[in-house]
Amino acid sequence: MVFGIYPGGIAGTDTGLTTGRPDDPLLIKKALAQLYPQDRNFIVRGYIHYNGSDETADEAPGKVEQYIINDHTLDLVVCYRADELNEATWINTIKKIIHRYGEKLDSIQITEEPNLRNVYAGDGHFKDIERALFIGAIAAKEELLQMAADENHIRADKEIRNEKKKAFFQRQKEMSEQLVNKLTELQKKNIDKELDQWERGEWKPEDHRASMDEVMRKIKEQYQFKDENIL
């Protein structure tokens, strides 16, 4: 079982709102910390109003996202409080709300008690509430599914980039190992040749082949190798 609470001080009644002292975010957070079960999710409930414009109106409690901490998630109610239904702004507002709260959401409820037509706290007495509920629920579902698809696409794209990067560094390591092996063989060959010349009394400092530093310099220049490429 998952537990949760509405932590605000404002509540709706049949005829209006009941209010007490203004919400104190610090005291609310302290109370939530005491209620928080350490081994499971805890849900905070909040309300946000659509009043017919393209912007949200009242929120209860204010800035509810500030209480979504630890393993808390948000159960959000989008209340419909418009005298006339404007489908475009209603749907757009729902989408903006979903993007505002994003991954903090545990669930989202479209309209508050649309079946209550004679009480202040319910949305049922507003015109076209059935239509608002219908198109609002569809819009919310479609937006959440699109967000999930986008997130999966981003995750898959990131995995592909990581695999390409790993393959690049693996190839770079292999090339570096090949270069080191070849340089080692070249160094051994030159040393053996110079020892043979010395034993025969043919070795002279002025005839000494280019130093390995010079060999390395030329190879790096020719094959565009840098010191950090040699792993």
pLDDT of 110 higher than 80: yes
* Own/partner long-range contacts of 139-146 (Cβ < 8 Å, ≥24 apart): 139/90, 139/91, 139/94, 139/95, 140/78, 140/94, 140/98, 140/108, 140/110, 143/94, 143/95, 143/98, 143/99, 144/98, 144/108
3-state SS, residue 19: coil
Radius of gyration of the chain (CA): 35
Handedness of CA 125, 130, 131, 132 (dihedral sign): positive
Give the pLDDT score at 18: 78
In the chain, where are the structural domains located?
Answer: 3-127, 166-229
Give the pLDDT score at 219: 57
Give tens-digit pLDDT for 74-109: 999 999 999 899 999 999 999 999 998 988 899 999
Give the pLDDT score at 231: 47
pLDDT of 132 higher than 70: yes
Average pLDDT over residues 155-184: 73
Give tens-digit pLDDT for 33-73: 888 777 778 899 999 999 888 778 888 898 999 998 877 89
C-alpha–C-alpha distance, residues 181 and 3, integer Å: 65
